[in-house]
Chain A
Amino acid sequence: MPAIIEVCDLVKHYPKVQAVNGVSFAIEPGICFGLLGPNGAGKTTTIEMMEGIQKPTSGSIFYKQQPLGRQFRNEAGIQFQHTALPDFLTVKDALRLFHSLYPRSADLEQLVDLCNLRELLSRDARKLSGGQRQRLLLGIALVNDPSVLFLDEPTTGLDPQARRNFWELIRATKARNKTIILTTHYMEEAYTLCDEIAIMDHGRVIARGTPNALLQQHFKHVFLRLPRADFSVPLENFPFTVFESDGYVEIQALDVNESIALLLKNNVPLTRLEIRPPSLEDLFLELTGKALRM
């Protein structure tokens, strides 16, 4: 299936900063594509070039095999990381304003229900909570019934419940056969929502694929986690790789049964033992050798 968006060797230089340095990828229609990385990795600059907001220093971006143009403007929905609306508009006014700016448009009533905005229609848009505001901005991004939807860190600053509610909205949107391009620095969010991810650091894509394929490619083990107080064995005497942090030890175990048997042999209590699979955060640590910079 031809890509809906293709990015070829994208470069963006600012004075003294090379924000994006030769990024290339193609996105298939109908998937949720995650662009991950810590703050300053270049993901917002990359997504803003893909949205047509910033001009690349060099490289090309194609939407449906054509350079970005009017068709893209009409068919793209965008939710920026930081944005504002004209003052003194109610939720309904704001939706109507943006609804009128596009030649093709979604059914506003359906959109209001999809984004849970019905109770808020007469509310001043400036007086919404963080979660309500993000739902309105998502509604605005969907007013033109877009083929491709850009969401730049849409859940940053939301409490866990609001974040999970927003995930449900994104899933519902994706179910309407939209292509979603999502940036986030929440790895759990990416793992939950994305069909394919690209991890960026220092302006480059350092890994790309489906979350599970990337994890399988880079990890053959699982993690056994125990409180440090329960782990009486000297770390250097343990035959597996062991990390210690925040009062816990984590054992990289290729064979769980063998590891547990060894722990029992050393009289380590297993009451508080946790076994977890590797996460995208572990992958990032593995790839870059450093923790995520938030």
Chain B
Amino acid sequence: MKRFFAVLHARNLEFLRDRSALAWNIILPFFIVLGFAFAFSGGPRDLFKVGVYRGNPSEQSDIAFLKTKYVQFIPVDNLQTAQRKVEHHQLDMLLDVGPPTRYWINTDSPNGYVLEQMLRGSGAETFERNALTGREVRYVDWLAPGIFAMNMMFSCLFGIGYVIVRYRKNGVLKRLKATPLGAFEFLTAQVVSRMSLIALVTTIVYVGCDLLIDFTMHGSYIMLAFTFTLGAVCLISLGLLTAARFASEEFAGGVLNVLTWPMMLLSGVWFSLEGTHPWVQKIAQIFPLTHVVNAARAIMLDGAGFVEVLPQLLVLGVMSAVFLGLAAALFRWE
């Protein structure tokens, strides 16, 4: 344990004394969240979104409302999930094409009111009306879990992968290999150091942003911390796997970019994957970041508990075990 704590302490010193990297880790996500909060602080966007349950909007020719222009009709499979989205203003209306034909609107939503008038005007007076209430989930509320997870991803992959490759290239690993320090002790110290720093940075950014923006948080903070911790373990393991063999920082940087860019764009950090092409949604499932973002969003926006996010946690657990196992098997000091 003495060796483990010595390496852990050295790595922590290295990170904390690298002021530019530390500042970047805190300031970047902080300004992204604040920037989006400012950019989307005006009125609701013009686009109407209607969830359609038990029907395909493009084939449902008997309901005239479904042919309305400038309204996005999104097929939904789960009625409860869709109702919660209406409560959070993520859907402006939910339509069940029946039988019985019925619809749900949020009585606090101006868009819901307008859509209800349009629905009735299209000859659907007989549809059963259901009213829901609930605070609007702003884009920044929806975005924040993704930003936290994305920042974590960069910190895990570059903070672990890139640093180990640099250590290997400049001979630090070779020097450590000449001591009684084992590979497991060294790698564990790197993981724990990065985990601690991510916890510190994420907490600072979360609390800072929350004081300014007042996030929606319906779930448990412990559950959220657990999800982010498991996500960090998974992403750090991926970083270790990336760094297992390479000795070129340029090549490792390229590999890390190949990993991070698709995750950043296709894991649902910036926009919902609902309504995207099915293959995009399938590809997104192979990214650990997708599962971290989905679980964190479910906890923060829907108040999801352990059982609700268990599928995402299981996927992250399995991915962590696979990445870590491969990283340990492939790791070379030189």
B181 touches A101 (CB 8 A): yes
**Count of B residues near A, CB < 8 Å?**
25
A224-252 interface bits toward B, Cβ cutoff 8 Å, 1 = contact, 0 = none: 00000000000000000000000000000
Asked if A70 is at the interface of the complex by the 8 Å CB criterion, the answer is yes
- Among A86-94, A166-174, A186-194, A278-286, the stretch that binds chain B is A86-94
Q: Which of A76, A88, A93, A98 has the most CB of B within 10 A?
A: A88
A85 touches B172 (CB 8 A): yes
A100 touches B13 (CB 8 A): no
Known: A97-B6, A100-B6. A88 touches B174 (CB 8 A): no
Asked if A205 is at the interface of the complex by the 8 Å CB criterion, the answer is no
A88 touches B178 (CB 8 A): no
B14 touches A89 (CB 8 A): yes
Asked if B179 is at the interface of the complex by the 8 Å CB criterion, the answer is yes
Known: A89-B14, A98-B179. A84 touches B170 (CB 8 A): yes
Report whether over half of chain A's contact residues are helix, strand or loop; otherwise say mixed. Answer: loop
A84 touches B171 (CB 8 A): yes
Known: A73-B179, A80-B175, A84-B170. A101 touches B3 (CB 8 A): yes
Known: A86-B14, A87-B18, A88-B14. A100 touches B178 (CB 8 A): no
Asked if B11 is at the interface of the complex by the 8 Å CB criterion, the answer is yes
B180 touches A103 (CB 8 A): yes
B17 touches A101 (CB 8 A): no
A96 touches B6 (CB 8 A): yes
Asked if A53 is at the interface of the complex by the 8 Å CB criterion, the answer is yes
Give chain B nearest CB distance to A183 CB in angstroms. Answer: 15
Asked if A25 is at the interface of the complex by the 8 Å CB criterion, the answer is no
In angstroms, Cα B6 to Cα A43, docked, is: 33
Q: Which of A78, A83, A89, A101 has the most CB of B within 10 A?
A: A101
Give chain B nearest CB distance to A87 CB in angstroms. Answer: 5
The answer, among B3, B5, B6, B13, for a CB contact under 8 Å with A88, is: B13
Asked if B2 is at the interface of the complex by the 8 Å CB criterion, the answer is yes
Q: Give the interface residue-count category, chain A.
A: 20 to 34
A85 touches B7 (CB 8 A): no
Asked if A67 is at the interface of the complex by the 8 Å CB criterion, the answer is no
The answer, among B13, B14, B180, for a CB contact under 8 Å with A74, is: B180
Closest A residue, CB atoms, query B5: A100
A84 touches B175 (CB 8 A): yes
In angstroms, Cα B17 to Cα A106, docked, is: 28
A53 touches B171 (CB 8 A): no
In angstroms, Cα B170 to Cα A82, docked, is: 8
- Find residues 1-26 in chain B having any chain A CB closer than 8 Å to their own CB: 2-3, 5-7, 9-11, 13-14, 17-18
Asked if B84 is at the interface of the complex by the 8 Å CB criterion, the answer is no
In angstroms, Cα B170 to Cα A115, docked, is: 24
The answer, among A78, A86, A96, A103, for a CB contact under 8 Å with B178, is: A78
In angstroms, Cα B5 to Cα A82, docked, is: 26
Closest A residue, CB atoms, query B180: A73
In angstroms, Cα B179 to Cα A88, docked, is: 21
Asked if B138 is at the interface of the complex by the 8 Å CB criterion, the answer is no
In angstroms, Cα B177 to Cα A52, docked, is: 9
Asked if B113 is at the interface of the complex by the 8 Å CB criterion, the answer is no
The answer, among B11, B175, B179, for a CB contact under 8 Å with A83, is: B175
- Find residues 39-98 in chain A having any chain B CB closer than 8 Å to their own CB: 51-53, 70, 73-74, 76, 78, 80, 82-89, 93, 96-98
In angstroms, Cα B170 to Cα A269, docked, is: 56
B2 touches A100 (CB 8 A): yes
Contacts of B10 in A (CB 8 A): 86, 89, 93, 97
- Find residues 162-185 in chain B having any chain A CB closer than 8 Å to their own CB: 167, 170-172, 174-181
A86 touches B6 (CB 8 A): no
Contacts of A86 in B (CB 8 A): 10-11, 14, 167, 172
Contacts of A88 in B (CB 8 A): 13-14, 17-18
B180 touches A101 (CB 8 A): yes
In angstroms, Cα B178 to Cα A89, docked, is: 19
Contacts of A80 in B (CB 8 A): 171, 174-175, 178
B172 touches A100 (CB 8 A): no
In angstroms, Cα B6 to Cα A31, docked, is: 33
In angstroms, Cα B172 to Cα A101, docked, is: 14
B175 touches A85 (CB 8 A): yes
Contacts of A93 in B (CB 8 A): 10, 13
In angstroms, Cα B167 to Cα A86, docked, is: 7
A105-122 interface bits toward B, Cβ cutoff 8 Å, 1 = contact, 0 = none: 000000000000000000
Contacts of B6 in A (CB 8 A): 96-97, 100-101
- 8 residue pairs bridging A and B, Cβ less than 8 Å apart: A76-B178, A83-B175, A85-B172, A87-B14, A87-B18, A88-B14, A89-B13, A103-B180
Q: Which residues of A contact B (CB under 8 A)?
A: 51-53, 70, 73-74, 76, 78, 80, 82-89, 93, 96-98, 100-103
